[in-house]
Structure 1
């Protein structure tokens, strides 16, 4: 059972917690858990495309760490001297790796969120609170794939008459590209205005508006939220006990890891892996039921 079939409120609560944790935690163990879980879940949702995207982030993490350590001078463990004579320290280098890994984890969680949270869920959550905001978000989320598809069609039509972005000399290619961009921008603006006027004419921004929804907060959602908040409560205890704290300036100082720390690590890992575990369990249950049905039918 995929996580995107659950109530949108559950989806937003989960991604809100994991994204906030990925931004806040810089302790190496928590950082590694968040990175590994976001990597695994994005691959589970998006397949080979996610593998390529996630692996492409690794060189950027390394480059950012080198850049950060070259222009931020703190720490007591000197490693080398760069080309302008500044000291490269271990503490600055590790801090750069930590910041880059946190950013990569956030990007991977957002890729998961993009695969799970659709525009109709955004409309469902924000429609009752602010119809105008809901209308804006729904138009914005729908606009990106439509603009991409429209640009592809316009580019194909222009190539058919010899005005493609890759046809002719340099100046002609520039003019053709600007012409295609102008057509796409004009179409996008007209489409957004037409959609907005259409929704307003249907009373979308009136007070007391009711909306049809296929989502219900059932026992399955309640159970998931209870487990989610249970893990979050244990994680909050770890935060209050300074299990997520580490210093990188002027030297790396990590709080002592105790057997109790393993409980906090396990709670954070379970929190991050909950949707994937539920999906895997649902897929296995479906496979067993399908196999049993085939055997009974035979």
Structure 2
């Protein structure tokens, strides 16, 4: 029961909500929940490759924080003086961590989107609103993976004849890299020409053309919508009660954490972890069913 098996509209609602909340919430607790949930869910979907990518984002957050605190000076809590004589403040460091964490969280959520939302879902979601937009988005989603696959195939074949991008002296490596890029660009342009000719033959430009889809909104989707909107409602109640905001300038000030705040934190965590939880429950049920048959 993977999240990609649900209706595309549910995928859209979840990821739009996750990105909007991750970008707009400055509160450290909500920020930590967004980061950890995106971290765990991306690993669940993409495995070891996503783990390496997520761990590489952590030093980038530190680098962004260092840059931001060195060149932005506000707040009243001085920590030390930088090399040009300006004070580095705790408030500037904190804001740098917040913004860097937001960027990292959005990148991890986008990696989840690439794993869940396929090209046919994009066509289904935007096809009736704007067929051209849906086509461009589907081409964009397919472009990066196909170029990476072709690049690996080209590099593997050229490496077999001693012309890999990292074989030979520096001048030879540069020439091999130029040849590699020339082949890759030519192959990609030829594929675009073939795709355009294929779309024209299939009547893409004809008026009134419709698209086939296999998606139906069933009871399972309705149950998920009820659960996700319940969590969204509680989260927006936290916004209404000013539980998601914090002040960083001129000093760090936030509302006192109460029992109701913990309820809001839990609802937000459930909102972000709901797809992964359903997937884990489905995998557990499947393994239990297969073990009984065995």
What TM bracket, shorter-length normalisation? over 0.9
Q: Match of 1:10?
A: 10
TM-score (normalised: structure 2)? 0.94
Deviates more, 1:166-175 or 1:212-221: 166-175
The SS at the match of 1:206 is: coil
**What displacement does 1:218 show?**
0.8
Q: Distance in 2 between matches of 1:49 and 1:183?
A: 27
Confirm or deny that 1:230 pairs with 2:259: no
Contact conserved, 1:132 with 1:205, CA < 8 A, in 2?
no
Contact conserved, 1:4 with 1:11, CA < 8 A, in 2?
yes
Give the root-mean-square deviation of aligned CA atoms. 1.6
In the TM superposition, 1:100-249 aligns within 5 A as 100-249=100-249
CA change 1:238–1:150 in 2 (3 A) is same
Q: Match of 2:25?
A: 25
**What displacement does 1:124 show?**
1.8
Unaligned runs of 5+ residues in structure 2 are none
CA change 1:30–1:162 in 2 (3 A) is closer
Unaligned runs of 5+ residues in structure 1 are none
Deviates more, 1:137-146 or 1:260-269: 137-146
Q: Match of 2:58?
A: 58
Deviates more, 1:175-184 or 1:75-84: 175-184
**What displacement does 1:228 show?**
0.9
Deviates more, 1:267-276 or 1:154-163: 154-163
CA change 1:87–1:14 in 2 (3 A) is same
Q: Distance in 2 between matches of 1:205 and 1:227?
A: 40
Q: Distance in 2 between matches of 1:26 and 1:205?
A: 46
**What displacement does 1:88 show?**
0.9
Q: Deviations over 1:214-253 (max 9, x none)?
A: 2111111111111111111111111111111101011001
Q: Distance in 1 between matches of 2:249 and 2:129?
A: 44
Q: Distance in 2 between matches of 1:159 and 1:47?
A: 28
**What displacement does 1:291 show?**
2.5
Q: Distance in 2 between matches of 1:199 and 1:121?
A: 18
Contact conserved, 2:74 with 2:249, CA < 8 A, in 1?
yes
Q: Distance in 1 between matches of 2:264 and 2:221?
A: 24
Q: Deviations over 1:136-160 (max 9, x none)?
A: 2222222222222222333344444
Q: Deviations over 1:181-208 (max 9, x none)?
A: 1121122112112202211221123232
Task: Count residues in correspondence.
Answer: 294
CA change 1:159–1:282 in 2 (3 A) is closer
Contact conserved, 1:8 with 1:121, CA < 8 A, in 2?
yes
Contact conserved, 1:124 with 1:213, CA < 8 A, in 2?
yes
